[in-house]
Amino acid sequence: MTVSSLRETLVATGVEILDADGATELTLREIARRAGVSHGAPRRYFPTHNSLLAAIASHGLRDLTERLQPALVGKQPARSRLISAAIEYVSFAQERPAMFELMFRHDLLEATGSNLRESSPPLFAALQALTEEADASDPTTSAVTIWTGTHGIAVLAANRSLALVAPGLDIAALITTSVTDHLLRTR
């Protein structure tokens, strides 16, 4: 196995463990065991547990970006694409809650020297451009407002808090209302 393929295997195995079993099972030893390598092998590529977590989180950010891409560059009106992107963002969080949480644990991952924090600005720039296209008077403030509101919904939906306080809530309708109301107020 080549160096790059073993590194990729370790990250892919970590992603599988995180998605299936959550963060508590995500240890270097468990990743090595499931990847079929010695328990010391991950240290060769990832000097710390956090450096491996950063690589796994970067993988998740790429997955999220790929998932949002059709909404960000589609042919529908900008407002519809904003809503679609927000719905996909929340759906990603619901389907992969442990990954979603890890991706935004900058406090944990910053010490690794990874470029994880640098992964967010391009995605935000796309959101800002889409917000501007949707005719917001202040695209930066609108993009921040829509992102933070959507992120809050995503976190609450992923950890099932929304289901506790509002069983049966139509999250897509909530997002549609939230984005539409904000854009109408900022014209």
93-131 pLDDT, tens digit each: 999 999 999 998 877 766 566 666 677 778 888 888 888
Half-sphere exposure of 64 (CA within 13 A, CB side): 31
Q: Do 98 and 64 reside in the same domain of the chain?
A: yes
Q: Using alpha carbons, list the distances in angstroms from residue 162 to 83, 94, 167.
A: 19, 11, 7
Torsion on CA atoms 112, 113, 116, 119, rounded to nearest 10: 180
> Given CA atoms 186, 158, 13, 71 in this order, what sign does their dihedral have?
negative
**pLDDT of 136 over the 80 cut:** no
What is residue 36's predicted lDDT score, i.e. its pLDDT? 94
Q: Using alpha carbons, list the distances in angstroms from residue 13 to 19, 62, 71, 103.
A: 10, 16, 29, 16
**pLDDT of 18 over the 90 cut:** yes
Of 181, 179, 63, the C-alpha closest to 131 is 179
Q: Predicted confidence band at 168 (pLDDT cuts at 50, 70, 90)?
A: very high
Q: Is residue 51 part of a domain?
A: no
Q: Do 29 and 106 reside in the same domain of the chain?
A: no
Q: Is residue 68 part of a domain?
A: yes
Q: Do 40 and 62 reside in the same domain of the chain?
A: no
Q: Do 145 and 124 reside in the same domain of the chain?
A: yes
Percent of the chain with pLDDT over 90: 54
* H or E element that contains 10: helix 3-21
Q: Do 11 and 87 reside in the same domain of the chain?
A: no
Q: Do 123 and 36 reside in the same domain of the chain?
A: no
> The domain containing residue 31 runs over which residues?
1-46
Q: Do 22 and 100 reside in the same domain of the chain?
A: no
Q: Do 32 and 95 reside in the same domain of the chain?
A: no
Q: Do 119 and 74 reside in the same domain of the chain?
A: yes
Number of domains observed in the structure of the chain? 2
**pLDDT of 138 over the 70 cut:** yes
What is residue 4's predicted lDDT score, i.e. its pLDDT? 72
Q: Do 84 and 165 reside in the same domain of the chain?
A: yes
Q: Do 38 and 61 reside in the same domain of the chain?
A: no
Q: What is the DSSP letter of 135?
A: T
Q: Do 69 and 18 reside in the same domain of the chain?
A: no
CATH number of the domain where residue 106 is located: 1.10.357.10
Q: What is the token pair recorded at 181?
A: 């109301």
Q: Predicted confidence band at 153 (pLDDT cuts at 50, 70, 90)?
A: very high
pTM attached to this predicted model: 0.90
What is residue 122's predicted lDDT score, i.e. its pLDDT? 80
**pLDDT of 74 over the 80 cut:** yes
Burial (CB count within 10 angstroms: exposed 0-12, middle 13-18, buried 19+), residue 80 = middle
CATH number of the domain where residue 42 is located: 1.10.10
Q: Using alpha carbons, list the distances in angstroms from residue 163 to 75, 85, 90, 168, 173.
A: 33, 22, 14, 7, 15
pLDDT in tens, 40-49: 999 888 888 8
Q: Is residue 52 part of a domain?
A: no
